[in-house]
Amino acid sequence: MKKTRIIGLVLVILLVAFGSMSCKKDEPAKAPMAEETKAAPALPGAGFIAAMATDVGGLGDKSFNDGAYGGLKMAEEKLGTEARVVQSKQQTDYVPNLSGLAEDGADLVFAVGFLMDQAVNEAAANNPDTLFAGIDIWSSDASPSNFMGVVFNEHEAGYLAGIVAGLMTKQYASASDKLNDQNVIGVVLGMFIPPVEKYEVGFIAGARSVNPDIKVLSATAGDFTDQAKGKELALAMIEQGADIVFHAAGLTGLGAINACKEEGVLAIGVDVDQNAVAPDTVITSAEKKIVQATYLAVESAVDGSFKGGTRIFGINDDAVGISAFHSFDSIVPQAVKDAVKKATADMKSGAVKVPTTRAEIGL
């Protein structure tokens, strides 16, 4: 009896073992332990710090400070660089801010605005191991080799904006109740410096090219941060019959746009597409592609092709022009769009050479 139990127990054990082996045999083979998910390859700019010091207009100007910062953020996204920014409250902040960014480890430091010319050259000379770039600043023979000036042919963008204003204010005034029959437009300037002069002169030349009898009012605020002054100047122009006001004035220009909005006339923005500032007022903007130019400067520093000197962006690079008409697209006649297209082609071919100084247009 005992022997029988033992035999039975052995048989049970054998059956269990056989069943277990059968189950294992039928189970799908386990995949070998997967390797840990491989990290995405590092972007080329990983570890590279691209920084900027604003001019006194600061971030939020919806113009060239915001544009330069947009370029740093684009580089951060596409190249993997780190974007840093410090805001200048007064002009005496320029050198300390630029130098401080270099001392804190930035590989490339941007100065934003013509008024930072002397400061960025000084900072670059004092920090030879850091690359510097200046938006709207020319490099000179005296500039250090680690400095790149990034400048634009603002007059070309101004010329196209002037064509729009010159045609709309007279020939196509009936297209919008924001226009009148006075044949007067205006331009509000911040400070009278070369980039601003080129915008103004190009704008006037463009308007006159399609409307020789047009009256263009111009006034300079003497400041890039005084919105109240910009509004005051624009209101004075509107009182004199202006139904389109262009500005090249930074934050001061936002006051001009606000005046146009309040008075029910049209405005033309500057530097970047400013339609979002007042969608029912800003018909277009004279743009220089600051975002793209800043990004390209960072890219050149990352890939090792950065060179000192001046890099000029213009109509032939598609780096200046006018922005979309947005909600005004159905109001702006095709003839105006065609005129802009033709002028763009003529500038690219050299058939039209846009003046850059007041003296060239008799002012």
Bridge partners of 284, per DSSP, are 268
Show the tokens assigned to 166: 């010159």
Taking the model in full, what pTM does it have?
0.80
Query: In the listed set 152, 177, 202, which residue is the last one of a domain according to the structure?
Result: 152
**pLDDT confidence of residue 310:** 96
List pLDDT tens digits, range 235-294. 999 999 999 999 999 999 999 999 999 999 999 999 989 999 999 999 999 999 899 999
C-beta neighbour count of 81 within 10 angstroms: 28
User: What are the tens digits of pLDDT across the range 294-329?
Assistant: 999 999 999 999 999 999 999 998 889 999 999 999
Q: Strands 131-135 and 82-86: what pairing?
A: unpaired
**Residue 182 burial (10 A CB sphere; 0-12, 13-18, 19+):** middle
Please give the DSSP secondary-structure letter assigned to residue 275. Answer: G
pLDDT, residue 203, reads 98
Considering the domain architecture, whether residues 117 and 196 belong to the same structural domain is answered as no
Given a cut of 80, whether residue 2 has pLDDT beyond it is: no
β-strand pairing of 266-271 with 282-288: parallel
Question: Containing domain of residue 144, as a range?
Answer: 49-152
Q: Which residues lie below 8 Å from residue 202, measured CB to CB, with a gap of 6+?
A: 154, 155, 156, 157, 158, 159, 161, 162, 286, 354, 355, 356
* Residues 339 and 209 placed together within one structural domain of the fold: yes
pLDDT of residue 38: 58
Judge if 126 and 247 occupy the same domain.
no
What mean pLDDT is reported for the chain? 90
Q: What is the CATH number of the domain that holds 62?
A: 3.40.50.2300
Tell me the C-alpha distance between 158 and 26, whole Å. Answer: 78
pLDDT of 57 reads 85
Number of domains into which the chain is organized: 2
> Does the residue 44 lie in any domain?
no
Distance of CA 105 to the CA centre of its chain: 25
145 and 167 assigned to the same domain: no
How is residue 140 annotated by DSSP? Answer: -
If you ran DSSP here, which 8-state letter would residue 332 be given?
S
pLDDT digits (tens, 9 = 90+) for 19-69: 444 444 444 444 444 445 555 678 999 999 999 999 988 898 877 899 999
Domain boundary among 95, 123, 152: 152
The helix (H) or strand (E) run that includes residue 151 is strand 147-152
